[in-house]
Amino acid sequence: MSTTTTRPGQDPIRVRPGLTGEIDNLTALLDEAFRQDPVSRWMFANVSREGHDWAAHAAMLRVFTDWAVYCGHAQVAVSVPSGTPAADVEDQAHAVALWVPAGPSFPHSVPPRERQRPDFTNLQGWPRLKFDQFAELSRTAHPMQVDHQYLPFVAVAPPWQGHGVGTRLLRHRLDQLDAERVPAYLEASNPDSARLYKRLGFRPIGEIRLPAGPPLTPMWRDPTGFPVIRVPAAPAAAP
Ligand SMILES: CC(C)(COP(=O)(O)OP(=O)(O)OC[C@H]1O[C@@H](n2cnc3c(N)ncnc32)[C@H](O)[C@@H]1OP(=O)(O)O)[C@@H](O)C(=O)NCCC(=O)NCCS
């Protein structure tokens, strides 16, 4: 089922579930959008030479995309230029939000091993080491006392960024979660996105310190009004 959301001065967006057949496209969208992200740049930096291992970056993102689509909670936004007849609208994703269930009933902070593809499980060297460090710190910081929805990744294709698409895509899911009284959790990987999440009602509950890397801000959003769950800052893992 898809829903169209409009705000004055903006093209409407249509929100629909992410589909198995578009995992390649959604992975490519995330890969492009996250190449400027501090955590991606830390995790996939080539240590012995310049640049980044973007193939490994895409392999990691594909695992998360596959996981969210498999769970049935990935949501995609399609921008619909005003005045375009519905039949002429291309259904290609302009943004994607990877939501997955987490908590006592779903005890995973990263995709379970059976959902990981060989190009990711066979990853070696620094990206493997750093991903594993990230996964452990992320697992430690992640409140798991109550079932909730976890947003490991959200991205808007670069040409559409800054036009309200990300806000409306997230708002769409958060309205559903509010109606169901389900909390939400994420880790903001940069101060710009943290500002957006605060406006949407997320509150910081700690800090994740990556070894010789950028900080991440774990954020929790609870529509029931229960006090925010605070987690202690996790110590940085040994480099
Ligand atoms: C973060 C992101 C999903 C927001 O979607 P968007 O459609 O660009 O954002 P909106 O137009 O709805 O809202 C604007 C707000 O988003 C945030 N934002 C905008 N561009 C951003 C960018 N390149 N990176 C991170 N956050 C950004 C800011 O908070 C901005 O508000 P501001 O006016 O206070 O600066 C999108 O910019 C993106 O994909 N960024 C790159 C990937 C990323 O950082 N993902 C989140 C990691 S936790």
Higher pLDDT, 2 or 7: 2
208, 188 in Cβ contact below 8 A?
Answer: no
Can you identify the CATH homologous superfamily of domain 18-80+91-221? Gcn5-related N-acetyltransferase (GNAT) (3.40.630.30)
The answer on pLDDT for 212 being more than 90 is: yes
Ligand 1 mean position, distance from CA 210 (Å): 22
Residue showing tokens 């409009």: 6
In whole numbers, what is the pLDDT of the chain averaged over residues? 88
The conformation of residue 230, written as its DSSP 8-state character, comes to P
DSSP class per residue in 124-145: -HHHHHHHHHHHHHHHHHS--S
Beta bridge partners of 148: 102
Nearest alpha carbon, ligand 1 atom 31: 196
pLDDT by residue (tens digit) across 62-84?
999 999 999 999 999 998 877 77
pLDDT tens-digit readout, 117-153: 888 888 888 899 999 999 999 999 999 999 999 999 9
Average pLDDT for residues 98-125, to the nearest whole number?
86
State residue 194's pLDDT score. Answer: 97
Residue that is written with structure tokens 């040409």 in the block? 159
Query: Ligand 1: distance of its center to the CA of 160 in Å?
Result: 10
Mean pLDDT confidence for 212-220: 96
Give the Å distance between the CA of 164 and the centre of ligand 1.
9
Cα 118 to ligand 1 centroid, rounded to whole Å: 31
Distances (CA, A) of 1 to 4, 14, 29, 98, 236: 10, 10, 22, 17, 43
Average pLDDT over residues 165-183: 95
Single pTM value for the model: 0.90
Cβ neighbours of residue 12 closer than 8 Å, sequence gap 6 or more: 4, 5, 6, 79, 80, 82
Residues found in the chain: 239
Q: Which residue has the tokens 């950028």?
A: 214
Backbone phi and psi for residue 70, each to the nearest 5 degrees, phi listed first: -60, -40
pLDDT exceeding 70 applies to what percent of the chain? 88
Residue of 43, 65, 99, 161 with the most ligand 1 atoms within 8 Å of its CB, for mutation: 161
Give me the mean pLDDT over the 45-60 stretch: 91
Question: Ligand 1: does its nearest atom lie under 6 Å from the Cβ of 188?
Answer: yes
Q: Is the pLDDT of residue 28 over 90?
A: yes
Residue 237, pLDDT above cutoff 60: no
Contacts of 48 (CB under 8 A, 6+ apart): none
- Is the Cβ atom of 208 under 6 angstroms away from ligand 1? no
Question: Would the CB of 10 count as within 6 Å of ligand 1?
Answer: no
89 has a pLDDT exceeding 80: no
pLDDT at site 8: 47
